[in-house]
Chain A
Amino acid sequence: DTAVSQTPKYLVTQMGNDKSIKCEQNLGHDTMYWYKQDSKKFLKIMFSYNNKELIINETVPNRFSPKSPDKAHLNLHINSLELGDSAVYFCASSQAGDGGYTFGSGTRLTVV
């Protein structure tokens, strides 16, 4: 029973393609996040959704579009992929008022 699951785990694609990463949490949390970890290992928040409502958008290019169909799912769609989008993308969830985030195992995106 994985608490926060992401698919796919690995994604290799060509420049210019459009791809999606899916995230699901079974913890009953009301807030979900996308983080990006680049080659220098810095973890940076991209988006946050609370009960399907976007609450954080950290100056991410508009080629990245998150979608939350319900509070248990937060998907990330990326248009016109660029080489610089290569990174590991982590999904996470938390419950308002509680400190601990639960992270997924990551999706390693490689753009060639």
Chain B
Amino acid sequence: DAKTTQPPSMDCAEGRAANLPCNHSTISGNEYVYWYRQIHSQGPQYIIHGLKNNETNEMASLIITEDRKSSTLILPHATLRDTAVYYCIVSRAGGTSYGKLTFGQGTILTVHP
């Protein structure tokens, strides 16, 4: 699976959009970009994933560049409860061995009042 690079930490004001970048320059054509987050002491939580088109769900938006070498997770209106470690992961989809999720260090997002 391709490696990802994320900033170690970011701050965001409550109510503002949080834009979390991720670089994945060695991504393969059949690999998806996944985003998970881990709120302190809880299990990781799936946020969103995409292949090449931008995606949006009730939690966030995912913007993937045309060359697929980087992406941005957008939390449109960050709240204090969005403070967490955010993981960007590149992997082939599926529940078999090639669908394994490999977590990096992630970005610690702190949302301030």
Measured CB to CB, the residues of A under 8 A from B are: 4, 29-31, 35, 41-45, 48, 50, 55-56, 90, 92, 94-106
Q: Are A100 and B97 in contact (CB under 8 A)?
A: no
A98 to B96, CA, bound (A): 10
Q: Are B101 and A55 in contact (CB under 8 A)?
A: no
**Which of B20-53 touch A at CB < 8 Å?**
32, 34, 36, 38, 41-46, 49
A90 to B93, CA, bound (A): 20
Interface string of B71-104 (1 = CB under 8 A from A): 0000000000000010100000111110111110
Q: Does B54 contact A (CB under 8 A)?
A: no
Chain B residues within 8 Å of chain A by Cβ, number: 24
A-B contact count (CB 8 A): 67
CB closest residue in chain A, given B103? A43
Chain B binding surface SS class? loop
A38 to B72, CA, bound (A): 28
Chain B residues with CB below 8 A from A4, complex form = 43
Between-chain CB contacts (< 8 Å), 13 pairs: A4-B43, A29-B95, A45-B100, A48-B95, A48-B97, A50-B96, A55-B96, A95-B95, A97-B95, A99-B49, A100-B49, A105-B42, A106-B43
A44 to B89, CA, bound (A): 13
Q: Which 5 A-B pairs have the closest CB atoms?
A: A31-B95, A103-B43, A96-B95, A43-B103, A100-B46
Interface residue from B94, B95, B101, B103 paired with A42 (Cβ < 8 Å): B103
Most B Cβ at <10 Å: residue of A29, A44, A94: A94
Q: Are A56 and B100 in contact (CB under 8 A)?
A: yes
Chain B residues with CB below 8 A from A55, complex form = 96-97
Q: Does B105 contact A (CB under 8 A)?
A: yes
CB closest residue in chain A, given B33? A99
Interface residue from A43, A50, A98 paired with B44 (Cβ < 8 Å): A43
A60 to chain B, nearest CB (A): 14
Query: Given A45-B100, A45-B102, A30 and B42 touching (CB < 8 A)?
Result: no
A35 to B89, CA, bound (A): 15
A30 to B94, CA, bound (A): 10
